[in-house]
Amino acid sequence: MKSLCTSQSVGYGVQKWTSGSGRMGFMDSTERDRVETPISAEMTEPEHQPAESPVEQADPVAQADPAEQLVGKAVVVERGVLERLVGGTYHDPHQVLGPHLGEGAVTLRVLRPFASSVTAVYDGERVGLEHEFDGIWIGVLEVDKVPDYRLEVTYTDGPAVEVDDPYRYLPSLGEMDLHLIGEGRHEQLWTVLGAHVRRYDGPTGTVTGTSFAVWAPNAQGIRLTADFNFWDGRAHPMRTMGSSGVWELFVPGVGPGTRYKFDICGRDGVWRQKADPMANLAETPPANASVVHESKYEWNDAAWLEQRAAAQAYREPMSVYEVHLGSWRKGRTYRELADELVAYVTDLGFTHVELMPVMEHPFGGSWGYQVTSYFAPTSRFGDPDDFRHLVDRLHQAGIGVLVDWVPAHFPKDAWALARFDGTPLYEHPDPRRGEQPDWGTLVFDFGRPQVRNFLVANAIYWAEEFHIDGLRVDAVASMLYLDYSRNEGEWVPNQYGGRENLEAVSFLQEMNATLYKRVPGVITVAEESTSWPGVTRATHLGGLGFGFKWNMGWMNDSLRYLEHEPIHRQYHHHEMTFSMMYAYSENFVLPLSHDEVVHGKGSLLRKMPGDRWQQLANLRAYLATMWAHPGKQLLFMGGEFGQESEWSEKGELDWWLLDHADHQGLLQLVKDLNHTYRETKALWGADHIPERFSWIDANDAGNNVFSFIRYGEEGEPTLACVVNFSALPHHGYRVGLPFGGFWQEVINTDATLYGGSGVGNFGGFHANGLGWHGLTSSAEISVPPLGAVWLRHDGQSSSEH
């Protein structure tokens, strides 16, 4: 339930603390000198004058005037300041609360709304505090410097408890941090905002606590509400940090496992409880509080990171297995997946896994694409260190890890990013640019420096904190075009009258350039469904700077071709060849992703025409064609063994299908495709070199046959792929080849081992000197029905091509 803030205005004047390096520690007498003069409401410089609203009254403690005997030595605070402090809208509670050095004494104010008594305990002394105003207690310590005191607090329904005072500590952010946040240039933003367990040495030993910091520049006041204060934040108001828009509070005695939120009085005068945008752990949905976490993980993947840094991804093999962790096998934790998933992927020979979004999201049916906690791995499967363990184990097995990342939009949940401080803070204020009609979500304001900083730092966070090897960026097209999924009159052109979102373009360039600069060997992959030029071109050459782009054109054309009955495919032959017209315009990944097996589209297997045998044969031939095509490969889980039903996040894969020999055969084929692919450099080392690809025959539509060559480098094997998408075998089919000698049949998708009919070439053949298809040699081969063969020639240099 929303409540209204107090009606008093709030000052946002420049603070006068001396924070030095931003260390945590006690405020000593020097650092408290600024409050020797009386504090008045006029000492602030208000930036915002919100409309007046009814005052929300706290549960009152019996009202009392300050003890008259304290007036002579106490640091005086005006009544209006105290009212705003109790109401939660005073910009710097530390200016009033905590210890303040006066004339030969220290004035101590404490905000404990429900206490029946408060006593300061220090150096063997006990000083009782008097109730001053509406839950504020005051006392004078007869000392000439601030002691290392504690508070003994008694409540009417329980014994006294001894606690430390949050308002005697220095800020946890330094001046450089605040400057970088203000500029939108703090590349390690997660290290200063959010919740962080901190330790430092005090006069009586080590003090452990948690600092909380949040960016909310338009808030009138923020209180920390948590399980340790029974979700009532009136005793824990936070302070602003100058003009940075950051609010901060260090709470001693609070540690890992603490659940918390920020209670924010927005510019509109409404209190809202918000989860921490920078939290690195959140409660398991449907609960939505943020959770304090401190990583203790020790990595064991140094060899992997060193190897990754030295590699060039576009020159390396990349065969990606896309996984939704919650439905691969139901009920598994990150640590259980570290055993089962790693063993499975290793056996199949994939080089990478791509995880559908693991950032915390409230609605499982969004598959993770509506993120509410961008810095928190979902707690459905464990804590952040458990997720680190999964990544570490994959790396130790030689498997790279890509993660889906969603900077395009975020959901409207009232407790998350939407209208975070009572204003459109993270989202664009104009709904024609700030809302995504397709998904009912909000669009980030890519032109706001601090919002860009939030997203850029988040990309770096996943790479540096979790050793992620790459980000697959979701829905890039929706970011690039202002009229994406909008009708006439529903969008606003850019400053030049065009439809391009120039701010989003600039953001993507900044994100890619920064990530590639900071993290050696990392990659980014764009899910971009249009013909936007230069997606994988370097930013200094005017491109967006991605490492790879999903080839949606190849995916759509090839699936459309395969859905036709074989007898009709000759009329759609070009749908399988057109992709080579642009295959080298970008660094492509060929995706058969989760998007193609949901929403009534059917599984990959069920897209294929014919009876069960023909469907499996079609799928085997299709996968072999895909693995031989220029570009990297991505296959969604279940496709490797012929999942029959559409994918649903509510269940798990139909593992029982592997009790059938034909599905086991498909699984074995994928394993053999991966292993043969990895050992044949011609299939991955020249994806960026057009001269290393050549059609043998791209035009045999009548036979539904496609044939092409992938040339190796000097002295390396060359591979020919011949595919027959008709239901009839072609015996004595003459195919041109660039070299004479022996060609080994390294893959035949019709082999009985894979569930096929066994039509093939007995492991290989010798090509003769008869020229064919414009090539110097040829051979008559058998091409199986609905089948593909890979033919590899060893020892012939590519220079003879």
Domain end point (choices 512, 528, 550) = 550
Strand partners, 250: 211
User: Residue 292 domain-assigned?
Assistant: no
Which pLDDT score, from 0 to 100, does residue 509 have?
98
Quickly list H helices, 361-469: 384-396, 431-434, 449-465
Which pLDDT score, from 0 to 100, does residue 366 have?
94
Q: Are 77 and 38 in contact (CB under 8 A)?
A: yes
Q: Which H or E element spans position 401?
A: strand 400-405
| Cβ neighbours for 254, distance < 8 A, ≥ 6 positions apart | 209, 210, 226, 228, 292
Q: What is the span of the domain harbouring residue 623?
A: 553-800
Residue pLDDT, tens place only, 442-480: 999 999 999 999 999 999 999 999 999 999 999 999 999
Rg of the chain, C-alpha, whole Å:
32
In the predicted structure, residue 702 carries a pLDDT above the cut 80: yes
Residue pLDDT, tens place only, 602-656: 999 999 999 999 999 999 999 999 999 999 999 999 999 999 999 999 999 999 9
User: Catalytic pick from 164, 474, 503, 662?
Assistant: 474
Do residue 617 and residue 689 come from a single domain? yes
Cβ-based neighbour number of residue 326 at 10 Å: 21
| Cβ neighbours for 32, distance < 8 A, ≥ 6 positions apart | 99, 100, 101, 146
The residue type at 632: K
Between 106 and 104, name the one with better pLDDT.
Answer: 106
Which pLDDT score, from 0 to 100, does residue 4 have?
73
3-class DSSP state for residue 93? helix
The CATH number of whichever domain residue 636 belongs to comes to: 2.60.40.1180
The CATH number of whichever domain residue 393 belongs to comes to: 3.20.20.80
User: Residue 283 domain-assigned?
Assistant: no
Residue pLDDT, tens place only, 584-601: 999 999 999 999 999 999
Whole-prediction pTM: 0.90
Which pLDDT score, from 0 to 100, does residue 60 have?
32
- Asked whether the bond before 377 is cis by omega within 30 degrees of 0, the reply is no
Token pair for residue 754?
């894979």
Token pair for residue 132?
């001053």
Tokens 């020229």 — which residue? 771
Helices (H) and strands (E) in the chain, counts: 15, 39
Do residue 328 and residue 250 come from a single domain? no
Q: Are 273 and 230 in contact (CB under 8 A)?
A: no
User: Residue 233 domain-assigned?
Assistant: yes
Token pair for residue 684?
């991955």
Which pLDDT score, from 0 to 100, does residue 74 have?
77
User: Residue 280 domain-assigned?
Assistant: no
Mean pLDDT in residue range 399-404: 98
Do residue 769 and residue 696 come from a single domain? yes
User: Catalytic pick from 177, 263, 386, 527?
Assistant: 527
Do residue 186 and residue 199 come from a single domain? yes
Do residue 37 and residue 22 come from a single domain? yes
Residue pLDDT, tens place only, 646-667: 999 999 999 999 999 999 999 9
Tell me, yes or no, if 31 is annotated catalytic: no
Rounded Cα distance between 382 and 295, Å, is 13
Tell me, yes or no, if 527 is annotated catalytic: yes
Do residue 258 and residue 309 come from a single domain? no
Q: How many structural domains are present in the chain?
A: 3
User: Residue 284 domain-assigned?
Assistant: no
Domain end point (choices 516, 550, 584) = 550
Which pLDDT score, from 0 to 100, does residue 676 have?
98
DSSP-derived secondary structure for 159-222 = --EEE--GGGB--SS-HHHHHHHHHT--TTGGGTSEEEEEEEEETTEEEEEEEEEEE-TT-SEE
Do residue 216 and residue 311 come from a single domain? no
User: Residue 291 domain-assigned?
Assistant: no
Rounded Cα distance between 609 and 698, Å, is 23
> How many residues are given for the chain?
801
Q: Are 134 and 63 in contact (CB under 8 A)?
A: yes
Rounded Cα distance between 359 and 380, Å, is 10
Mean pLDDT in residue range 321-326: 98
Which pLDDT score, from 0 to 100, does residue 795 have?
62
Do residue 515 and residue 607 come from a single domain? no
Q: Are 241 and 194 in contact (CB under 8 A)?
A: no
First-to-last alpha carbon distance for the chain, in angstroms, is 74
| Helix-strand-coil split of the chain, %, nearest 5 | 30, 25, 45
Which pLDDT score, from 0 to 100, does residue 320 have?
99
In this structure, what DSSP letter does residue 55 have?
P
Residue pLDDT, tens place only, 768-779: 999 999 999 999
Do residue 497 and residue 569 come from a single domain? no
Which pLDDT score, from 0 to 100, does residue 36 have?
38
3-class DSSP state for residue 737? strand
User: Residue 296 domain-assigned?
Assistant: no
Do residue 534 and residue 586 come from a single domain? no
Rounded Cα distance between 499 and 13, Å, is 40
Which pLDDT score, from 0 to 100, does residue 684 have?
97
Pairing, β 705-710 against β 777-783: unpaired
3-class DSSP state for residue 607? helix
Do residue 445 and residue 508 come from a single domain? yes
In the predicted structure, residue 154 carries a pLDDT above the cut 80: yes
Rounded Cα distance between 245 and 181, Å, is 9
